[in-house]
Amino acid sequence: MSKYPVDFPMAEVSNVINIVRSGQLADKKEEFAHDAWWVQGYAQSQVFNLGILPFSVAPDVDPVEALEMVMQAQSVPSPQGAVPWDQILFWAISELLKLIKN
């Protein structure tokens, strides 16, 4: 079985944030899909491999803002940190599904 990404995908997260914030998702869907794949894989590693179950009971947050906070910290908080990886994972998958439908 292939392993999830081990290192936080800094460049890919940055690009996902830039594409979403610039409103260019429709124009850059292939690029977004590729980079979201890395974000999704890392988020899955945090949710499933590190045992962050049950899923967070944190209030809904803007997943892009959560990713920006992680980027600003320049390091990934511990699994017990305030990063709602489950919500980020759900968002990444939802955005990819929307791209497939359109």
pLDDT digits (tens, 9 = 90+) for 35-78: 999 999 999 888 887 655 555 556 678 889 989 888 887 665 55
Q: Outline where the chain has alpha helix (H).
A: 10-22, 29-44, 63-73, 85-101
Query: Tell me, what's the pLDDT at 21?
Result: 95
pLDDT above 80 for 80: no
Query: Tell me, what's the pLDDT at 50?
Result: 62
The model's pTM: 0.80
Q: Which two tokens stand for residue 54?
A: 């049950």
Q: Outline where 1-28 has alpha helix (H).
A: 10-22
Check: CB of residue 11 under 8 Å from CB of residue 71. no
